[in-house]
Structure 1
Amino acid sequence: MPVAGGVTINDVVLRDGLQDEPVVVAVPDRVAIAAALAAAGVRAIEAASFVNPARVPQMAGAEELFAALPRDGSVRYSALALNARGVTRAVAAGADEIVLVVSAGQGHSLANAGRGVEDVLAGFRDVVAGHPQATFTGGISTAFTCPFDGEIAPRRLLGVARGLAGMGVARIVLADTLGTTAPERIARTLAMIRPALPGVEFGLHLHDARGQALDTVDAALELGVTRFDAAAGGYGGCPFAPGAHGNLATERLVAHLHSLGVRTGVGEGALADAVALVKECLARGAPLA
């Protein structure tokens, strides 16, 4: 299994996890969760999304959150953005990395971003060119299966990935947003797309509707993929993707990788403490109006 250098786990509970819960977690609690994940050895954390809080109220206070995050240089804090305004806010807040999200499915793009795929990509071209100092990652939602369009053809996904790579984005994370795509199909798609874009590092963002996410991880490891998104506690979903299930739980992913002898840098005991903290913070969150 070609993972001699270990893998990178990007924990997304503060963004993808909390955005799908029926409560708003206070900013100090979100900061505490970030600190607990960092103490467990997680070195990449997706901390927030800079989106309209009227649409996703759970992500309100993103600027306040970034101003309070513990910073010692050991953790890269990323933020999600859907448009130019979101990128501008993320840059001003000091995000280490900005995730530009575009859907492979046209139907999901219209529901999630309010625009078609090509319009989203066109807007991001100008944004990336206008922020040469920023580090961008591409995130492709519904990369394999769309709740509106059905199965995504690999050639369509490759076209979207090429659009991001053409802007100079050197890391692209492919999301199985519904968590229903068979591991074999994800592996076949990866085997086709990665050689077509050799200058791009590909990662996976896995939801786990059918208990097959770890099988997908195994198949991806065999292909040389070494970056995975996961969420502490398995929380998450997508408010704009009907049928989306929770994320692959970070603690399950870490335990599985350790059982294979794959290094993660994450301590399972401290990670369990972080998961417990997430549950506590959700329990005292303010219910959505």
Structure 2
Amino acid sequence: MQGWHSFIPTPVKTSYLNALLKAGFHTLDFGSFVSPKAIPQMADTKQVLTALDLRDTQTKLLAIIANRRGAEQAVGYDEITYLGFPFSVSPTFQQRNTNSTQEESLGTVADIQELCIKNKKQLVIYLSMGFGNPYGDVYSEEILLQWADKIAALDITIISLADTVGLATPEQISNALAALVPGYKTVEFGVHLHSSAANVHQKLQAAIASGCRRFDGALKGIGGCPMAQDDLIGNMPTETMISYFEAQGLKLHINRQALQHCIQLANEIFI
């Protein structure tokens, strides 16, 4: 929702998220504790959170934060399990997204990790621009692996490789995960992939074959990062991902009737 062109009313957000909570997903990225000036769509995250119905769901809530102040707000809510922080492999994007350098942001990650441990939360790090960037910043697989090493050294146990602007090739995905997954037995590596319809299956297969079992998606492929660039390749459609996973024989725990209701709501909201 964060980059949607018009503000989605709070009751509409809440209705959609409550529907998603019934679909059987492991985690729901429900909102962001970030500057309302930077991301106006997320200005009502606190109101949305208080209206979520968590009584009959196993789905855990994740909130995006971009600095310590946002983290301090998020850890105050018992309902939230995960805090997600975007750490960019691109120095230009790190400055653009969080108004800080990579080294400053690494210090912020360490501070937030300490805050999470004290408040019994779990920090998820997204290595954004993980497969290249549109700014001309130097990129290589070695650079990605170096930053992953630094993040893992802070005892972060969930790291998601984010293809923020859809540049990743299946080979890049395979190589990165093949290098990381065996080396860190206590870290769960996931992928946050953007793609066109033409290469979604190839990217998913590359990640599956490399041992990845944590995937981010969005119904209808809606979204992207509004801080990245104007012309984004969208998120991977959750419904496409589910169909592909099932075709590959992976066991899912999705309530199909509830999912269909979510898709119907998405068709009404995102028009």
Normalised by the size of structure 2, how large is the TM-score?
0.92
Q: One-letter code of the match for 2:228? A: A
After superposition, the Cα gap between the structure-2 partners of 1:149 and 1:268, relative to the gap in structure 1 and judged at 3 Å, is: farther
Distance 2:128 2:122 in 1: 19
Distance 2:103 2:173 in 1: 23
Contact 1:37/1:271, CA 8 A, preserved across alignment = yes
**Quick check: 261-270 or 212-221, which moved more?**
261-270
1:1-289 → structure 2 map (5 Å cutoff): 18-72=1-55, 74-94=58-78, 95-132=80-117, 133-149=120-136, 152-209=139-196, 211-242=198-229, 243-283=231-271
Change beyond 3 A, Cα 1:149–1:272:
farther
Instruction: Return the letter of the residue paired with 1:280.
Output: E
Judged with a 3 Å threshold, the aligned counterparts in structure 2 of structure 1 residues 151 and 220 are, in CA distance, closer, same or farther, namely farther
**Corresponding letter in the other structure for 2:71:** V
User: 1 CA distance for matches of 2:101 and 2:178?
Assistant: 27
What is the total number of aligned residue pairs between the two structures? 266
Higher relative contact order (CA 8 A, sep 6+): 1
TM-score, with structure 1 as normaliser: 0.87
In 1, Cα distance between equivalents of 2:20 and 2:135: 35
Q: CA separation in 2, counterparts of 1:219 and 1:139?
A: 19
Query: Shift in Å at residue 162 of structure 1?
Result: 2.1
Write out per-residue CA displacement over residues 208-258 of structure 1, whole angstroms, 9 at most, x where no aligned residue.
136313211111111111110000111011112124211000000011111
How far apart, in 2, do the equivalents of 1:266 and 1:225 lie?
19
Q: What's the offset of the Cα at 1:150? A: 5.2
Residue 267 of structure 1: CA displacement?
3.4
User: Is the CA contact (8 Å cut-off) linking 2:24 and 2:58 kept in structure 1?
Assistant: no
Identity of aligned residues (%): 28
Q: Indicate if the aligned counterparts of 2:145 and 2:176 stay in contact, CA closer than 8 A.
A: no
Unaligned runs of 5+ residues in structure 1 are 1-17, 284-289
Change (3 A) 1:269 1:71: closer
Counterpart AA for 1:252: T
- The alignment yields a C-alpha RMSD, in angstroms, of 1.7
SS in 2 for 1:110: helix
SS of the residue corresponding to residue 124 of structure 1 reads: helix
CA contact (8 A) 1:183 1:213 kept: no
For residues 166 and 29 of structure 1, the distance between their equivalents in structure 2, rounded to whole angstroms, comes to 41
**Aligned equivalent of 1:3:** none
Give the counterpart letter for 2:188 in structure 1: E
